[in-house]
Each structure stands twice: as C-alpha cells, then as structure tokens.
Amino acid sequence: MQTKYIKDEIKYIGSQLAPHWIYKNFKIQGDAIVGFSGECEVKLTEMVDIEDVINNEPIYSKSMLSFITEQFNVNLVEGVFRQRLLICIIKEALERRGFKPERDGDDLFINGKKLTVSIATKSLTSILIHTGINIISEGAPIKASGLKSDLNIDDIEEFANEIMKKYSEEIDDIIKASTKVRGVN
C-alpha cells in the first residue's frame, strides 16, 4: 500500500470520499492512504453516515488531520475491520506518547472528549475510509480534544507519516500472511 502526506492544506468536505480521488488528485494508483490537514466541514448533504444524518449531526473542526484510504478487492465488512485497525494504530501512536485514549468502536476519546471521526463505505470499485483527528478542539460542535490544543503534539506531518507507515505495513503484512498457509479440508 502506498502512502503520501500532502503538505498543502485541504478543506475536507466529504466529497473527497470518492472512488479514485487519490489517483485523480495525486497520481497514486491502487491501494493507498493519504494524509492532509485543514478545516473540516461535512454538511448533512455530504454525510455518508446515515445515523449522523438522522441525528442531524454535521461535522466541523477548525483544523483536522485527515486520512483517506482507498483499497480495492475488499468487501465492506473487511473495510470496516480495516477502519478499526487504523483507529487502533492511532490509539497505539498516542499511547507511545504517554496518552491514554479510550476507544469506542471507531471513535477515540481523550478524557471523555471526542478526538476522532471515522467512516468506512463502499464504492462500485473499492472501499473508502476517512478518519479525521482534531488538531484544534475549539469551535467543535461537541466536547472535543485536539492533537495540538490538548495533547501538545506539534509535528502533525511526522505523526501522520508514522500512522500511515504503520497502517501500510500492517495491511501488507496481513496480505502476505494470508499467502503462507496451507488450506485444510
């Protein structure tokens, strides 16, 4: 799986969670994960999570670290497993820095305040995952925590690259592990 951190700020509005968005915009073909920072504002019309639409819960963050991954030849259930793996990798990266995030499904919390948003969905050709981590917590519509504002993690690019590298290695290793076993009757 290929990885890339995009240094330009990108406002995440939900429409980026689309098949071949990574390929069209960054010329990375195949399974990939990209990270970028910027404002996040997902209106109900762009929401993929039906529960959030029903509950009238749009997403907003002044500054968010976003990851988008597109992976091919994967069904939606496996995509949700991969989404949860990404959340667990983020949790471990925070734990290595001395923090104690709590995980509830695909959400991470610090001291009861929401740190992440995440969704997995399926297109006609792939599964797509967006996971966002608040950088700045101020201005969020809910009690939120942020990498810079609450955890004093300043090097967002380094943090993003660590997560993407670990995620890529895990996915590649899982695929490799599946090729070394003998089938049984």
Tens of pLDDT, residues 121-152: 999 999 999 999 999 999 888 899 999 999 99
How confident is the model at residue 49, as a pLDDT? 85
Residues 6+ positions from 66 with CB-CB distance below 8 Å: 10, 12, 35, 36, 37, 38, 40, 130, 131, 132, 133
Of the pLDDT bands very low, low, confident and very high (cuts 50, 70, 90), residue 58 is: confident
158: three-class secondary structure by DSSP: helix
How confident is the model at residue 166, as a pLDDT? 98
The CATH class that applies to domain 2-177 reads alpha beta
More confident residue, 96 or 51: 96
82: three-class secondary structure by DSSP: helix
pLDDT of 57 strictly over 90: no
Of the pLDDT bands very low, low, confident and very high (cuts 50, 70, 90), residue 113 is: very high
Cα 103 to the center of its chain, rounded Å: 14
How confident is the model at residue 24, as a pLDDT? 98
Residue 9 per-residue DSSP state:
-
pLDDT of 54 strictly over 90: no
User: What is the mean predicted confidence (pLDDT) over 73-100?
Assistant: 98
How confident is the model at residue 96, as a pLDDT? 97
CA distances from 85 to 120, 164, 168 (A): 12, 12, 11
Task: Give the closest residue to 23 by CA, choosing from 40, 37, 8, 2.
Answer: 2
Task: Give me the chain's average pLDDT, please.
Answer: 96
Of the pLDDT bands very low, low, confident and very high (cuts 50, 70, 90), residue 53 is: confident
How confident is the model at residue 117, as a pLDDT? 96
CA distances from 103 to 63, 88, 96 (A): 21, 8, 15
Phi, psi of 131 (to 5 degrees): -130, 130
User: What is the mean predicted confidence (pLDDT) over 46-75?
Assistant: 91
Task: Give the closest residue to 137 by CA, choosing from 157, 160, 159, 109.
Answer: 109
Percent of the chain with pLDDT over 90: 88
Beta strands in the chain (DSSP E): 2-5, 32-42, 59-72, 102-104, 107-110, 113-114, 116-122, 126-136
d(CA 7, CA 159): 13
